[in-house]
Amino acid sequence: MTSDHSVPAGADSAPIIGSAEEITVEWLSAALGTEVTAVAVAPVGTGQLGTGLLVDVTTAEGRGAEEADVPARLFVKLPTADVGMRPLVHGVYRAEVVFYRDLAPTLAIRAPRCHYAAIGDEGTGEFTLVLDDAAPRVQGDQLAGLTPAQALDCAVNLAGLHGPRWCDPTLDAIPGLPRPSAEDNAALDEMAGPTVEAFLAELGHRLSDEERAVCAELPSLVGRWANGRRERFAPIHQDFRADNMLVAPSGDLPSLAVDFQTMTIGLPGRDLAFLLSTSLSPEDRRAHEDAIVAAYHEALLGHGVTDYDLDTCRDDYVYGLLQGPVIGTFGWLYGSRTERGDDMFVTMMRGAARAIADHDALDVVRRG
């Protein structure tokens, strides 16, 4: 199921909870606004930044949950079990709650339907989301990448995130939805050099000479890139890639987008560039990117975007290609280190660097 574009309930209907033990029939009845008679809770996922739970639901009077407009299985997201860490990642939690509570009802992107979204104060770092389970869809695999058909579907879905609030000045009034300032971007610029250097020092041997050369040039351009093209903006995901897509193995269901913890306001082309450069093989990207960018652009027009021609869209896509190495190097350095993680970031960096080289994207950024 996808978002029904209604505003989910919050802490006014049921209190924010922080552990699986608090998912009782009483709490879930209040959160869903329908009488629940039984729940069965099971953990899912690795839980590095949060806790994921699958909840089987039985409703009153012997009705199946779906008859009460509640699926028989729900996915509940809670904070990490490490109470001390929760305040440190409060901003990540807040961004996702803001998406489901405040943004999703005004957008057209396919995402799991949200039944409850609430967040506490920064001191506790508490939040609770209750979403539809997306089965039979499964998480995409960043190492395997997406097929061209899957990438096309994800790109058209992405237009549903960008198009409905394209250049909407009221976005700045949404509490908790940031638009990076010049000062924020200056800090990003200052950190880019040491971050890229650390990545190249440890994993640079797994890149080609051309890919390393692209990465080495990045620090001198990150600040300029981050501050550029601010005249075009929309809500952007920032981490729109295979691992954050739910796809049907059979190919007979449209994809859903998930993991909106990095939501911000920025240049929409950055999301599209990130998707294609990190989630398609270089060969598939080269063969299909023109058609996918054109399909994304057509979908934008269908969401009411005007005065944005295809040539400008293609140029924003090229400009946005720096999103791959910027997010990739920072994600690698500051995330939890694993063997799969290193393999994933190397794959992402190689794909992004090749796309940048193919399109002379560094020169595009220099020209603005």
Domain boundary among 132, 158, 192: 132
How many other β-carbons are positioned within 10 Å of the β-carbon of residue 128?
26
CATH of the domain at 74: 3.30.200.20
Q: Are residues 98 and 166 in the same domain?
A: no
Residue with tokens 């859903």: 256
For the sheet containing 73-79, what is the strand order? 36-44, 50-59, 73-79, 127-132, 114-119
Full pLDDT tens readout for the chain, 368 residues: 445 567 888 878 899 999 999 999 999 999 999 999 999 999 987 556 789 999 999 988 655 555 557 889 999 999 988 888 889 888 889 999 999 999 999 999 999 999 999 999 888 889 999 999 999 999 999 999 999 999 999 999 999 999 999 999 999 999 999 999 999 999 999 999 999 999 999 999 999 999 999 999 999 999 999 999 999 999 999 999 999 999 998 888 999 999 999 999 999 999 999 999 999 999 999 999 999 999 999 999 999 999 999 999 999 999 999 999 999 999 888 877 889 889 999 999 999 999 999 999 999 999 98
Residue 58 lies in a domain: yes
Number of structural domains found in the chain: 2
**pTM (predicted TM-score):** 0.93
CATH of the domain at 320: 3.90.1200.10
* Domain extent for 331: 138-367
Q: Are residues 125 and 175 in the same domain?
A: no
Q: Is 117 within 8 Å of 97 (Cβ atoms)?
A: yes
Q: Are residues 174 and 310 in the same domain?
A: yes
Q: Show the tokens assigned to 284.
A: 């598939």
CB-based burial of residue 104 (10 Å sphere; 0-12 exposed, 13-18 middle, 19+ buried)?
Answer: buried
Domain boundary among 101, 132, 163: 132
Our CA dihedral for 85, 87, 89, 93, rounded to 10 degrees, sits at 120
How many other β-carbons are positioned within 10 Å of the β-carbon of residue 26?
12
Q: Which residues contact 55 (CB under 8 A, 6 or more apart)?
A: 23, 28, 39, 40, 41, 42, 73, 74, 75, 76
* Helix, strand, coil % over all residues of the chain, rounded to 5: 50, 15, 35
CB-based burial of residue 367 (10 Å sphere; 0-12 exposed, 13-18 middle, 19+ buried)?
Answer: exposed
| Beta bridge partner(s), residue 53 | 43, 76
Q: Are residues 80 and 151 in the same domain?
A: no
Beta strands in the chain (DSSP E): 36-44, 50-59, 73-79, 114-119, 127-132, 138-139, 234-236, 245-247, 256-257, 264-266
**DSSP letter assigned to residue 99:** I
Q: Are residues 126 and 152 in the same domain?
A: no
Residue 340 lies in a domain: yes
Q: Show the tokens assigned to 63.
A: 């009705």
